[in-house]
Amino acid sequence: MRDYYRYKDKEIEEMAKFCSCHKKEVKKMKRHCSCDRCKKHHHKWDDCCKHDHKCCCKKGKKHDGKDKHKKRDKADLLDFEFFTLDPNVRMDNNMRLPEDMQTPVASVTLEQVRNGDLVWLNGVFGLDQDETIFIDNRVDMRIFKGNPPVFTPGSEIYRARFEVEGEAGDDQVIEPLMHVDRITENANNVTYTVTIEPLDTDLFLNGPITFTAALINKR
**DSSP letters spanning 67-97:** HHT-----EEEEEEEEEE-SS----TT-SEE
Put residue 6 in one of left, alpha, beta given phi > 0 → left and psi -120 to 50 → alpha.
alpha
Residue 20 pLDDT: 59
Beta bridge partners of 126: 174
> Which pTM value belongs to this model?
0.67
pLDDT at 204 over 70: yes
Residue 73 has pLDDT above 90, yes or no: no
Q: What is the mean pLDDT of residues 25-54?
A: 50
Tell me what pLDDT residue 169 has. 75
- Of the candidates 186, 182, 175, which has an alpha carbon nearest to the alpha carbon of residue 122? 175
Beta bridge partners of residue 123, listed in sequence order? 177, 211
pLDDT of residue 93: 80
Alpha carbon 153 to its chain's center: 30
**CB within 8 Å of 48: residues ≥ 6 apart:** 32, 33, 38, 42, 55, 56, 57
Average of pLDDT values for 121-132? 90
CB neighbourhood size of 82 (10 A) = 13
C-alpha to C-alpha distance for 23 and 217, rounded to whole angstroms: 57
169-189 confidence digits (pLDDT tens): 788 999 999 999 999 999 999
198's enclosing H/E stretch is strand 187-198
User: Is 90 exceeded by the pLDDT of residue 135?
Assistant: no
Whether the per-residue pLDDT at 22 is higher than 60: the answer is: no
Least confident of 66-80, 146-160, 193-207: 66-80
Tell me how far apart the alpha carbons of residues 210 and 84 are, in angstroms, rounded to a whole number. Answer: 5
Where is pLDDT greater, at 3 or 112? Answer: 112
Mean pLDDT, range 185-203, rounded to an integer: 95
pLDDT reading at 133 higher than 80? no
Q: Which of 10-24, 128-142, 181-195 comes out lowest in average pLDDT?
A: 10-24
- Banded model confidence at residue 67, pLDDT cuts 50, 70, 90: low
Percent of the chain scoring above 90 in pLDDT: 53
